[in-house]
């Protein structure tokens, strides 16, 4: 065996260069460094803020995970409005404004700067603090399209994500239909946080159902589910408060629903009852007594609970009044009043002539 002494220092560098050159001559290229950057997802809260595009969009309808779209859209893309019902194997997608923040698509319903009419009985009536002055079929609360045609839901969006501890559902007409509450994680997952019987009993004129629960995540969207067919009539919701872990109550900034009576009652985009004649619209009735205090319910684990048996209707379904009929009645009333006024004037003229 022949042993060779390996060179050191400059000699070793020269030897390594000679070996590399020999490999190139023989068709072997030196290995290239991998410069491809692996995509990195933002923290959920930061991703949500970026998807809003500086406050451009609001009312998040869906959030879907499509990491493969990074190859086409990179880390971010404001794609604009799309009418796509299925995408990447995901179906039942709503129309809206699509924003990609790796690895999620956010589908928004509204442009923040676009004026939005507050329609009578529209879901937007459930935003903000409660403002329906009394119990009854009043247009300042949300109502579904039909009284008992299907089970209904109402989704609320709040300004900023919080760690929730309870929701407070203000029910102003035919209460008692609340059966389920969910909250959305910031990755779009809908999580059931409560299921059971509405703390506000069927037959009460109105009530505030306080649903307490525990979660370990932040949310800015909740959805309440109503067993509408089990409680006769329109089950109207005035507001839904979201209480955080510090005890502060937040009110919704946007709302979306399974259906709304505003679709049927809408006239000229505003919806609801039209008031005829000069001056301001008539004031809403003032309740004789303040709303009842919240009805507390003991916290329960977020596990499925067998739904309560459907209650027998206590009264026939309410009948929504057609705004057109209301207008005709008011015009007829005005005509009658004018006729009475003319008759009184004629009598006064006749009496004056008789005295002469």
For residue 74, the model assigns a pLDDT of 97
Q: Model confidence over 167-192: pLDDT tens digits? A: 999 999 999 999 999 999 999 999 99
Q: Model confidence over 79-107: pLDDT tens digits? A: 999 999 999 999 999 999 999 999 999 99
Query: Cα 98–104–106 angle (5° rounding)?
Result: 30
Dihedrals phi, psi of 57, to nearest 5 degrees: -120, 155
- Tell whether the model's pLDDT for residue 33 goes beyond 80: no
Strands of the chain (E only): list them: 57-65, 76-82, 96-101, 104-111, 152-162, 164-173, 178-184, 190-195, 207-212, 219-226, 236-244, 249-251, 254-257
123-275+291-312, which class in CATH?
A: mainly beta
Mean pLDDT taken over the chain: 81
Lowest-confidence segment of 47-51, 123-127, 180-184, 266-270 by average pLDDT: 266-270
Residues 6+ apart with CB under 8 A from 134: 172, 206, 284, 285, 286, 287
DSSP 66: -
Domain boundaries, the chain: 44-111, 123-275+291-312
Q: What span, in angstroms and rounded, lies between the C-alpha atoms of 349 and 347?
A: 5
For residue 265, the model assigns a pLDDT of 61
- Tell whether the model's pLDDT for residue 334 goes beyond 90: no
pTM reported for the whole predicted model = 0.68
User: CA 171 from chain center: how many Å?
Assistant: 17
Counting residues of the chain whose pLDDT is more than 70, the rounded percentage is 72
């Amino acid at each position: 065996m022949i042993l060779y002494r390996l060179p050191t220092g400059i000699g070793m560098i020269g030897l390594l260069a000679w070996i590399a050159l020999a490999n190139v001559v023989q068709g072997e290229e030196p290995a290239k460094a991998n410069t491809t950057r692996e995509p990195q997802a933002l923290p959920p809260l930061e991703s949500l803020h970026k998807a809003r595009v500086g406050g451009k969009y609001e009312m998040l309808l869906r959030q879907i995970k499509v990491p493969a779209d990074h190859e086409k859209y990179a880390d971010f893309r404001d794609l604009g409005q799309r009418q796509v019902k299925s995408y990447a194997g995901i179906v039942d997608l709503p129309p809206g404004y699509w924003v990609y923040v790796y690895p999620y698509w956010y589908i928004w319903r509204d442009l923040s700067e676009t004026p939005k009419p507050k329609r009578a009985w529209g879901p937007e009536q459930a935003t903000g603090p409660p403002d329906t002055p009394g119990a009854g079929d009043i247009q300042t609360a949300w109502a579904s399209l039909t009284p008992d045609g299907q089970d209904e839901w109402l989704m609320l969006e709040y300004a900023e994500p919080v760690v929730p501890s309870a929701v407070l559902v203000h029910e102003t007409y035919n209460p008692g239909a609340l059966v389920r509450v969910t909250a959305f994680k910031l990755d779009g997952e809908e999580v059931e946080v409560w299921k059971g019987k509405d703390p506000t009993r069927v037959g009460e004129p109105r009530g505030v159902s306080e649903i307490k629960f525990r979660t370990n995540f932040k949310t800015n969207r909740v959805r309440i589910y109503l067993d509408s067919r089990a409680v006769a009539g329109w089950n109207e919701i005035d507001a839904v408060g979201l209480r955080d872990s510090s005890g502060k109550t937040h009110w919704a900034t946007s709302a979306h629903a399974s259906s709304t009576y505003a679709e049927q009652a809408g006239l000229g985009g505003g919806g609801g009852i039209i008031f005829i004649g000069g001056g301001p619209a008539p004031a809403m009735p003032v309740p004789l007594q303040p709303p009842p205090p919240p009805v507390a319910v003991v916290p329960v684990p977020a596990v499925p609970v067998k739904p309560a048996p459907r209650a027998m209707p206590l009264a026939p379904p309410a009948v929504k009044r057609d705004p057109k009929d209301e207008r005709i009645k008011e015009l007829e009333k005005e005509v009658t009043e004018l006729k009475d006024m003319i008759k009184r004037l004629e009598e006064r003229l006749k009496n004056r002539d008789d005295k002469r």
